[in-house]
Amino acid sequence: MEAVGLSRAFWNGKRVLLTGHTGFKGSWLALWLQSLGAQVSGFALAPATEPSLFELARVGEGMDDRRGDLRDLGALLELIAETEPEIVLHLAAQPLVREAYRDPLGTYSSNVMGTLNLLEAIRQVGGVSACVLVTTDKVYANQEWPWPYRENEALGGHDPYSSSKACCELLAQSYVASFFPPERYDVHGLAVATARAGNVLGGGDFSPERLIPDVLRAWSAGEPVTLRYPQAVRPWQHALEPLAGYLQLAAALYERGPDLAGAWNFGPGEDDMCSVGEVVARLATRWPQAPGLRVEPSELHEAGLLRLDSSRARQLLGWQPRWSLQQCLEQTLDWHLAWQASADMRAMTLAQLDLYREAL
């Protein structure tokens, strides 16, 4: 039996604003919300890659697909006034660590000012009951220690991307304290939370400088994949795992108000913490004549060890990971091979969504 926050009974007919719906995670989430009967309005730039999951899975067919820039406050004010969302799920961002090194100004502008404009539009227009702002596991001041980070650990950010997302966390805290304090919930009626997820995998991610897309691109071309930090350990998980958490969190905020506001981790189980090199080795077992890998260290800083403590989500939301890392890699590879075989990728994506929901 599905949790309340993942049931059609809750989401059917709900007016939802989803930012970043043309991205990788946003496309998966848009399809999931559509399958639950939600009235989804999306606001985002055009897909950042060619091909893209958004186009291949024809995500725009079942929703109000709108294009725009979160740095345009006027557009957001008009959008929220027109669509009257009850729930806002904010995924839009510049999501790439190495791109943020190349364009720090654009990254801070998109991530910080975009989030600020969204919160300000919500404040000015009103009517929103629940808002989930998606940041990242990289918001923590990473000490490279062996134990997992909890939501009350210090924020930081060595690189521009991580720092920009930590800024979003502080921004959310400030807006809640200033304009949406829990003690005045009966007046403003809005509950806000931030969600911090690990390194997500899954079919349809064509982003540059991400591990699985880089591996599949290289091996499809008959070339070895180049790794920067094969020893780095990451909290790997399928995109559907944190997306389930975002849905459960949004529903809990909607029904229970600010009692469940604040920051939330959505990370994998301890058994699915492994190195970059180990992930590539697992993929190679299912790729005929995998060309292997080569190592070219980068001078740019990237975290070596990062783990999340998701106890709060497990205990208070009933959320938990459902797919092992092995299942995650198998589903990702199956999706990619189906795409290479010119399959109907909307049907394939929905089938994998159904398979995941069966495990709930």
Digitized pLDDT (tens) for each residue of the chain, 360 residues in all: 467 799 999 999 999 999 999 999 999 999 999 999 999 999 999 999 999 999 999 999 999 999 999 999 999 999 999 999 999 999 999 999 999 999 999 999 999 999 999 999 999 999 999 999 999 999 999 887 878 999 999 999 889 999 999 999 999 999 999 999 999 999 999 999 999 998 899 999 999 888 899 999 999 999 998 898 888 888 889 999 999 999 999 999 999 999 999 999 999 887 777 889 999 999 998 887 878 778 887 766 566 678 899 999 999 999 999 999 999 999 999 999 999 999 999 999 999 999 999 998
Are 234 and 118 within 8 A, CB to CB? no
**DSSP annotation string for 152-206:** TSPB--SSHHHHHHHHHHHHHHHHHHHH--GGGHHHH--EEEEEEE-EEE-TT--
Give pTM, 2 decimals.
0.96
Dist. CA 121–CA 157, nearest whole Å: 27
